[in-house]
Amino acid sequence: MEVYNKTFRNTPNSELQTPNSPKAHRVVITGLGIVSSIGVGKEGFWENCLQGVSGTKPIQGFDVSSYRSRSGAQLPEIDFKAFIKPANLRRMDRIGKIVVSSVRLAIDDSGLNLKEEDSSRMGISIGTGLGSSDTVDQFFRSLLKEGPIGAAPLLFQTAVPNAITSHCAIEYGIKGVNITFSHKESSTEMAMTFAYHLLKEGRAEVLFAGGGDELSEPLYHVYSMLGALSPGRGKGVEGMRPFDQDRNGIVLGEGSGILVLETLEHAKKRGAKIYAEMAGVGLSGSTDGLLRYDLKGDSIAKAMSLAAEELRTVDYISAAANSTPDLDRAEALAIKKVFKERTKEISVSSLKSMLGEFDGSGGIRACGLALSLYHGMIPPTIGTEHLATDCDLNVVLGQSKKKEIRSALLNGCSNGGSNISLWFKHFDHQ
Amino acid sequence: MKKRVVITGLGVVSAVGNNLPEFWNSLVEGKDGTKEITVFDPSAYRTRIAAEVSHLDPEAHFSKKEIRRLSRCDQFGLIAFREAWKSARLDQGARDKERVGVVLGAGSGGILSVEKYFRDFYQGRKKSSPSLLTSYSLATTTDHIAIESGLKGPRTTTATVCSSSSASIGVACEMIQMGLSDVMVTGGSDSLCEVSYSGFNSLKLVDPESCKPFDKRRQGLVIGEGSGILILEELEHALNRNALIHAEFLGFGICADAYHLTAPEPNGEGVERVIRIALAHAGVSPEEVDTINAHGTATPFNDIAETRGVKRVFGERAKEIPISGIKSMIGHCLGSAGGIEAVATVMTLETGIIPPTIHYEVPDPLCDLNYTPNQSLRKDVRVALSNSFAFGGNNVCLVFKKFSSE
C-alpha cells in the first residue's frame, strides 16, 4: 500500500485539469435585485432598512383568525408587468413572479447588457425553501375535490421547485449553470455558495445567485401546526425580537433577493460598479434533531471560521438570529467562541427583525450586507428592547450605525442543522 | 489543484431490488419493476401502474416509533444510506465526522405524508397529526441521514426534481473540491405520491402499459420510486484507509435549455451543451466515452432530443456507443433517478456489463442509436456518462471512469 500511495502521489495530475481550473478567480458583487416587504428595488429597501422600518403587519389575503399568531411580513401589492413581459407573466405563479422580478432588478442594477454576454457562461443558482407551496396546495385541493380530472397540468408545471429557476432562464435566455437548492433556512446561502465556487473555478463569468420564498396560506398553516410561530404578547401586531430576553418565535416573511456575482476580470472589463467582494464560504452540519438548530453553537462557529480567512478583519455580522430562543442563543455562543475578546468590537444585526423569517431570506440579507459594505452603514435590529443575558453581543439596536467595515459575515442556519457562513469583503477601488 | 474523487460506497432501494446485489442482478437480467400501484388508490386514473418498491419490510429496518415519524421517502433514503455507509466501511474506527457531509437530491420528498395530512385536514375527517408535516421540507431526508449518523460536514438538498440527484452528486463533489469535506454522502431518495402521479398523468406523459425508451411505440414514462446513495471520497483519504474503490468521478456539467417549462429543446442543443461542459470539466475527449446511461424517459420528445444531442457531440461514432435506458425497468424515480442511475453507471464500470433497455421492439427512425436492446452487453468500459434532464430544461451530465491508480 505504501508503494501504491507513493506512486499515486508522484503521478502528474495534468490530464484532469480543465483550461481554466488552475487559476482561482476573484468574485465580486456587481448588482442587487430586491423584492422585499420593506421595499421593492435597492433604493427603497435600503432607505427603509436604515430607518428600521418593520415589514410586519396583520396577515392579508387569508383567514388567520383560528391561529394564535396573526402577523406576517408580506410584500406590498406589486405590478409585475413592470418587470416581466406580459406574455410570460401568464405562465408564472406568484413565487415565480417574485423571483423573476428580483432577477430583473439585479440585471438592471448591474448594468449588464445580456445580449453582449456569452449566454452559456451566465447562469442562475436559486435557493427556495418551499417554492410554489401555494400552487402545490391549489393543485392538491383540486385533485381532492374532482379526482384525477381536477389535476391541472398548468398548475403542475409550475408546482415543481425548480420552475422558478427555469422561468428566469427562459425569460432572460440564460443558458449556463441552472440549479435550485431547497434546504430550509440555508437554501439561498447554499445557492450563493455554489455560484461563488463555480466563478472562482472559472466555470462561469456571471451568475445570478440568491432566491426567496412566498408566504402562502398552507405554509402559514404548517409553521403554525409545528409550533414555530411567535404568538406575540397578545397586543396586536408585533414583529420579531432577535436576541431579546422575551423572544418567543418567528414571524413569517416573504420576498426574494438576487446578487449578481461575477469574476473580477469580467467586472473590470465592462467597468462595472462593485459593491463588495465575496471572498469565502464555510459550511457545517449540526445533528441536534430534525427541527432543532445547532444547540451549542459549535457548528455555526465552525462555519464562520471556515468562511473568513482573516477573522481579525471581521467588523460586522449579519446574523441568522430569528427570535427563537435556541438559534439566537446558539449564534451568540458561536460568535463568542470564534471572536473571543474581540466579540464586543464586532457589530451584529439581524435584518430578519424587519423582514421576518423565511427559508430564502438569505438573498435579501446578502444584498443588505453588500450595501452595508459599500456605504459603511449597518441597519438596526428592531423590536429588541432588552438584550438577553445569553445574547450579550454588540447588537446594533434602535438606530442604524455608521461604521467602516473591512469585512463581514452573513450567517444562514437551518433547523435540522445546515449552517452556512458567507464572507464578504469591502472592495477597495484603488 | 483539482482533487481526485472516487466512489467508495453504494446503496439502493428500487422496484427491482432493495439492495445493491439484487438491484444489479435484476438490471443485468432485464427485469421489469412495473406493477399495479398500492401506495394510493389508482383506480380513478387512466393509468394504474408504477415501478413501486415492494417486498420491503419497514419493521426489519426501523422501530415502530421511527416508522410513524419517517416518510416513505425518508425510509428509502435511510435504508440505501445504511447499505452504502456499511459497504464503505466508514462506520469502523474513529472517522472524523466533522469532515463528512450530505447532499441529496429531492423530487416529491415526503409529500406522501403531507398529502395524508392535508387530505384529512381539508376533508375535515379527523384531527390530522402535525408530525406528518415534518416532511413538508424537501430537506427532511437529508437531515435524517446526517442526524442518524452524526455527520457534521456540509449539508444541503438540490431541488431540480428529475435531475436533482445528479445535480446533488456534482454539488457533493464540489464540497470536496472546496476542501470542506473528505467524504460526502450523495444521491437521492423519492417516493410515489398522488401529486406527482396525477401531475404527470395530467400532462399525458404516462405510458399505461410499460416504459419503452427509444421505441417507436413509446407513450411516456412510468413513475418509479426508491433511493440511490453514493459515497464520494477524496482519493488520498480513500487510499489512506484502504477503502474499496468502485470507480472515479471525473466531473459534471449543469446547464439550462432556456426553452420551455416542460418540453425539451427539440434539436438537442441543450443536451449537446451539457455533455460538452461535462467532458471539458472531466478532462475527457468525446472519443474516450464508452457508454451512456441515458435519461431516456420514453416521452416522445425527450428521447428524440437526447438522441439528437448525443449525435451532435459524438458524430458518426454515436452509433457505436451503447446507450442504456434503465428507466424501462426501474421507472422514472424523479428525485432519486439520477442517484440510482449513477449507482448503475458505477456498477457498469466495475463489472463491464451494460444493462439493457427493455421493451425495445420497434425502432424509431428518429431514435437511431444503439440502445442496448433487451439484452445486457459485456464490454470493457473505461469512461461512462450518466444523463439527467428535468422539467424546464435543466440538464445535468455526470462523467465516471473506471478506477486506476495512474
Percent of chain A with pLDDT strictly greater than 90: 90
Q: Which of A254-268, A413-427, B21-35, B125-139 has the lowest mean pLDDT?
A: B125-139
Kindly list the structural domains of chain B, giving each domain's residue range(s) and its CATH number in brackets, ordered by start. 1-406 (3.40.47.10)
Contacts of B134 in chain A (CB under 8 A): 226, 290-291
B-chain CB neighbours of A287 within 8 Å are 146-147, 150-152
- Which ranges of A147-275 does DSSP label H, i.e. alpha helix? 153-159, 163-172, 187-200, 217-225, 264-269
Task: Using a cut of 0.80, tell me whether the model's pTM lies above it.
Answer: yes
- Interface probe for A, chosen from B155, B183, B269, B388 (most Cβ of A below 10 Å), is B155
In this complex, do B154 and A285 lie within 8 Å of one another by their Cβ atoms? Answer: yes
pLDDT digits (tens, 9 = 90+) for B297-346: 999 999 999 999 999 999 999 999 999 999 999 999 999 999 999 999 99
Per-residue pLDDT for B105 more than 60?
yes
Residues of B tagged active-site: 162, 295, 332
At residue A234 the predicted structure's pLDDT band, cuts being 50, 70 and 90, is low
Q: Has residue A235 got a pLDDT over 70?
A: no
- B318 at interface of A, judged by CB pairs closer than 8 A: no
What is the pLDDT at residue B124?
84
A333-336: which pairs have CB atoms within 8 A and are 24 or more residues apart?
A333/A296, A333/A297, A333/A301, A333/A390, A334/A294, A334/A297, A334/A298, A334/A299, A334/A300, A334/A301, A334/A304, A335/A301, A335/A304, A335/A393, A336/A393
Considering CB atoms only, which of B1, B140, B199 is closest to A13? Answer: B1
Using the predicted structure, report yes or no on whether residue A259 has a pLDDT greater than 90.
yes
Range from A1-10, A16-25, B256-265 that averages highest in pLDDT = B256-265
Cα–Cα distance between A31 and A29 in angstroms, integer?
Answer: 6
**What is the chain A residue with the closest CA to B160?**
A162
For the stretch A350-369, pLDDT in tens is 999 999 999 999 999 999 99
Average pLDDT over residues B53-59: 97
A8, A190, A284 member nearest B239 (Cβ): A8
Domains identified in chain A and CATH numbers: 28-269 (3.40.47.10), 280-425 (3.40.47.10)
Adjacent-strand bridge partners of A208: A124, A260
Q: In this structure, are strands B5-13 and B247-256 parallel, antiparallel, or unpaired?
A: antiparallel
pLDDT interval class at A430 (50, 70, 90) = low
- Is the predicted pLDDT of residue B53 greater than 80, yes or no? yes
Q: What is the mean pLDDT of residues A388-393?
A: 97
> pLDDT at position A429, please?
78
Query: Does A35 have pLDDT greater than 60?
Result: yes
Q: Is the dihedral of CA A25, A31, A34, A39 positive or negative?
A: positive
- What is the average per-residue pLDDT within A215-224? 95
**pLDDT at residue B232, rounded to an integer:** 98
pLDDT at res. B229:
98
- The contacts of residue A200 (CB under 8 Å, 6+ apart) are A24, A25, A26, A27
Mean of the per-residue pLDDT values for chain B? 96
With cut-offs at 50, 70 and 90, classify the pLDDT of residue A373.
very high
- The arithmetic mean of pLDDT across residues A255-277, rounded, is 98
| Interchain CB contact of B43 with A (< 8 Å) | no
pLDDT per residue as tens digits for the range A318-353 = 999 999 999 999 999 999 999 999 999 999 999 999
pLDDT the model gives residue A5: 33
Task: Give B263's DSSP letter.
Answer: S
Q: Does B152 touch chain A (CB under 8 A)?
A: yes
Confidence of residue A25 (pLDDT cuts 50, 70, 90): very high
Contact present, A402 and A347 (Cβ < 8 Å) = no
Which B-chain residues 92-131 have CB contacts (< 8 A) with chain A? Answer: 98, 101-102, 106, 111, 115, 118-119, 122-123, 130
Nearest CA in chain B to A161: B159
CB B367, CB B307: distance < 8 Å:
yes
Query: Which of A88, A175, A295 best tests the B interface by mutation, with the highest count of B CBs <10 A?
Result: A175
Residue pLDDT, tens place only, B161-176: 999 999 999 999 999 9
- B139 in reach of chain A (CB within 8 A): yes
> Does residue A414 belong to the interface with chain B, where contact is any CB pair within 8 Å?
yes
pLDDT confidence of A237, banded at 50, 70, 90? confident
pLDDT tens digits along B183-203: 999 999 999 999 999 999 999
B364-391: average pLDDT: 97
- Number of residue pairs across A and B with CB atoms under 8 Å? 255
Q: Note which residues in 182-211 of chain B have CB less than 8 A from chain A.
A: 194-195, 198-203
Q: What is the pLDDT of residue B125?
A: 76
Residue appearing with cell numbers 424537501? B138
- What integer is the mean pLDDT of B122-143? 90
Please give the full DSSP string across B17-59, using - where no structure is assigned.
Answer: BSSHHHHHHHHHHT----EE--SS--TTSS--EEB---S--GG
Confidence of residue B126 (pLDDT cuts 50, 70, 90): confident
Q: Which of residues 286-345 of A touch B (CB under 8 A)?
A: 286-291, 299, 302, 306
Residues B233-283: tens digit of each pLDDT: 999 999 999 999 999 999 999 999 999 998 999 999 999 999 999 999 999
B101 with A5: Cβ contact below 8 A: no
